Structure 1
Amino acid sequence: MLRFAHIEYLWGLAAIPLFLLIFLWVNNWKQKALKALGHRQVINKIVPAVSFSAPKIKFALFMLAFAFLVVGIADPQIGSKIVEEKRKGADLMILLDVSNSMLAQDMAPNRLENAKLAISQLIDNLHSDRIGMIVFAGEAYVQLPVTTDYAAAKLFLNTINTDMVPTQGTAIGAAIELGLKSFDFKNGTGKAMIVITDGENHEDDAIAAVKKAVDQDVSVNVIGMGSEEGAPMPVYRDNKQVGFRTDSSGQSVITKLNEAMCKEIAAAGKGTYVRATNANSGLNIVTSQIEKVQRKTYDAKSFKDFEDRFQYLIGLALLCLAIEFFITNRKSVRLSNVKLFEVRNG
């Protein structure tokens, strides 16, 4: 298994396209300057020792060195041994609403990002419990099957956005039913769901799905995102906010927390309802209730003895820089005198 000790440093790779654009701009400027001096063959005779391909090779080596260095600083680690161990925990399924109304900014920075931050903090506090994630809007999809791999859970969490589900709506019932199908009821561990939603545009029979969950000893808890006063629904284009959604009369569409529906689902699911705020996501209150869920010992496989591999990447970076250093912008006299394809007369 591969992991990074400092995965945040990989953002440094985003600088490579910037460097490439700068290099292409400078190279284009040089080409125009050379054309202004005269024909390429004439210039080659004036400065026969100058290599026009060397800068490209040097730049490619520099980019390789930079990439190796960034990945090396992130410290890739490989699990060298798999061990089986006994864990005692429960199965927890997060059902996250990704409808467009979750982009409303009555919670900072918006409802969805606030919820993702809270889930990330929840994952950090897990020890032996397994966690899975389902995203839903008008339809529901499994984002992460139930697992103890918390690092993978955070990676999948970071990719969640409102574009993942093309059909708009709030199909809580469908999400709950999908969550039930995703659980392994043969392992005997206690199970619980946490629905994180604003309840806007609720369309299917969530109560019927909740009753199915209760019949299988799965509690359904709800965290309400947003405010009863509501907020305008922003519109984004090319990842930039360009305004707010309006109705047929030109008035801003206000999306509000449907707290009554959230409370009804939590009550039917024998769970807890909490309304999140900027100061408190409410997950700590819900998880304290979930602690009461029966936990059972199960077998789990995990990687141990992770070994650092940064030294190999740093070595490759230094090698690329060394090669780049010894490449000059002058042609090799010996190589330039070799005419492999020249036709000689007589």
Structure 2
Amino acid sequence: MLRFAHTEFLWGLAAVPVLIILFIAVTTWKKRAIIALGDKDVVKKMIPQVSFSRPWLKFILFLLGFTFLVIGAADPQIGSKMEEVKRKGADLMILLDVSNSMLSEDLSPNRLENAKRAIAQLIDNLHDDRIGIIVFAGQAYVQLPITTDYSAAKLFLSTINTNMVPTQGTAIGAAIDLGMRSFDFKNGTGKAMIVITDGENHEDDAVIAAKKAIDKDVSVHVIGVGSEKGAPIPIVQNGRQVGFHTDSAGKTVMSKLDENMCKEIAAAGSGSYVRASNANSGFNIVMDQIGKIQRKTYDSKSFKDFEDRFQFFLGFAFILLMVEFFISNRKSVRLSRVNLFEVKK
């Protein structure tokens, strides 16, 4: 496997076609200048020591040296060893509510962004556990399959927004069912789900779904986001808030945290319930509970290390540039006197 440690330096290769164009332009200008002086053959005899081929040789050597120099600066690296790394962990699925009510601002900056920030901190603290992400509103979708690639997890997490699910609502039960289908039960390792929601379930029976999960030894934990007092649901268009959602009577809709629903789901799934706040995301308490589940050793292929190869490219660049430096634009006087094909009379 090949990679570059400093890919930004590869932009220097964009100068190669520019240098070629400039060199051709200067060479063409010189030829025209010579032609303007008179007959080409006569002018050449007037300047016998001027070489017309050596500038091309010097330029080619310089261009190759420059190219190797840029590649060397980018530090090409080769993955030297592929090995199976033994990991011991559990499978963790995050179920994140992305319904419009998650834009309410009773948590800073809003419920959804507060939850995403907490999930990012959780990912930073993971080591060998595998993680997946499901987003749900009126329907549920797998945003990230179970993986140990924490960098990818944070990348997928950053793209989550309330426009991802076209059908509005809060189908917690559907999300739990999808989470169950996303697990690999053959690996035998412990499994758990963390539902992050304001608890306003309007679509299905999440309690029954949680009971089905615990029947297969998958605990369901719930983190409630929001407040009992509630907050209005912003209407966002083109990244700007243009008002708040209203009911049929024209009154502003207040989205409140349904703690009773959250507690029922957690109880049915033999998990814990924590109410999130600006100061405490609740993940520490939930992860303490999840830490008690069984962790099993599994294999994960990875490159053990990468070896630098920049020294070869820098070495070639140095040799080529040194050769270019010592080649003169003029013909050698001594060599010009040698004529191997001259017939002596």
Instruction: Tell me the TM-score range normalised by the shorter chain.
Output: 0.5 to 0.7
Aligned counterparts of 1:224 and 1:5: Cα–Cα separation in 2: 42
Q: Which residue of 2 aligns with 1:284?
A: 284
Distance 1:216 1:233, change over 3 A: same
SS at structure 1 position matched to 2:304: strand
* Mapped contact 2:132–2:147 kept (Cα < 8 A): yes
Within 5 A, what are the aligned runs for 1:258-337? 258-306=258-306
Q: Which residue of 2 aligns with 1:208?
A: 208
Q: Which residue of 1 aligns with 2:112?
A: 112
* Mapped contact 2:226–2:256 kept (Cα < 8 A): yes
Q: Which residue of 2 aligns with 1:179?
A: 179
Q: Which residue of 1 aligns with 2:233?
A: 233
After TM superposition, give the deviation of residue 307 of structure 1 in Å. 6.0
Within 5 A, what are the aligned runs for 1:37-48? none
After superposition, give the CA deviation of every residue in 1:142-194 in whole Å (9 maximum; x if it has no partner): 01111111111111101111011000111111101110110000000000000
Q: Which residue of 2 aligns with 1:101?
A: 101
Distance 1:261 1:191, change over 3 A: same
After TM superposition, give the deviation of residue 309 of structure 1 in Å. 9.7
Corresponding letter in the other structure for 1:276 = A
Aligned counterparts of 2:116 and 2:158: Cα–Cα separation in 1: 8
After superposition, give the CA deviation of every residue in 1:222-258 in whole Å (9 maximum; x if it has no partner): 0000001000000111111111111222221100101
Q: Which residue of 1 aligns with 2:91?
A: 91
Q: Which residue of 2 aligns with 1:148?
A: 148
SS at structure 2 position matched to 1:114: helix
Distance 1:157 1:246, change over 3 A: same
Aligned counterparts of 2:265 and 2:216: Cα–Cα separation in 1: 16
Distance 1:77 1:241, change over 3 A: farther
RMSD: 2.7
Corresponding letter in the other structure for 1:226 = G
Q: Which residue of 1 aligns with 2:251?
A: 251
Matched, 1:138 2:134: no
Identity %: 77
Corresponding letter in the other structure for 2:166 = P
Q: Which residue of 1 aligns with 2:29?
A: none
Structure 2: state its 5+ residue gaps.
9-69, 312-345
Structure 1: state its 5+ residue gaps.
10-68, 312-346
Q: How many aligned residue pairs are there?
A: 249
TM-score (norm 1): 0.67
Aligned counterparts of 2:110 and 2:239: Cα–Cα separation in 1: 14
Aligned counterparts of 1:150 and 1:208: Cα–Cα separation in 2: 31
Larger Rg: 2
Matched, 1:121 2:152: no
Corresponding letter in the other structure for 1:186 = K
Distance 1:307 1:223, change over 3 A: farther
* Mapped contact 2:78–2:307 kept (Cα < 8 A): yes
Aligned counterparts of 2:280 and 2:180: Cα–Cα separation in 1: 28
Aligned counterparts of 1:2 and 1:209: Cα–Cα separation in 2: 46
After TM superposition, give the deviation of residue 81 of structure 1 in Å. 4.0
After superposition, give the CA deviation of every residue in 1:47-97 in whole Å (9 maximum; x if it has no partner): xxxxxxxxxxxxxxxxxxxxxx9xx99x99875543211111110000000
* Mapped contact 2:172–2:201 kept (Cα < 8 A): no
Distance 1:304 1:219, change over 3 A: same
SS at structure 2 position matched to 1:279: coil
Distance 1:79 1:120, change over 3 A: farther
Distance 1:78 1:122, change over 3 A: farther
Aligned counterparts of 2:231 and 2:223: Cα–Cα separation in 1: 18
After TM superposition, give the deviation of residue 110 of structure 1 in Å. 0.4
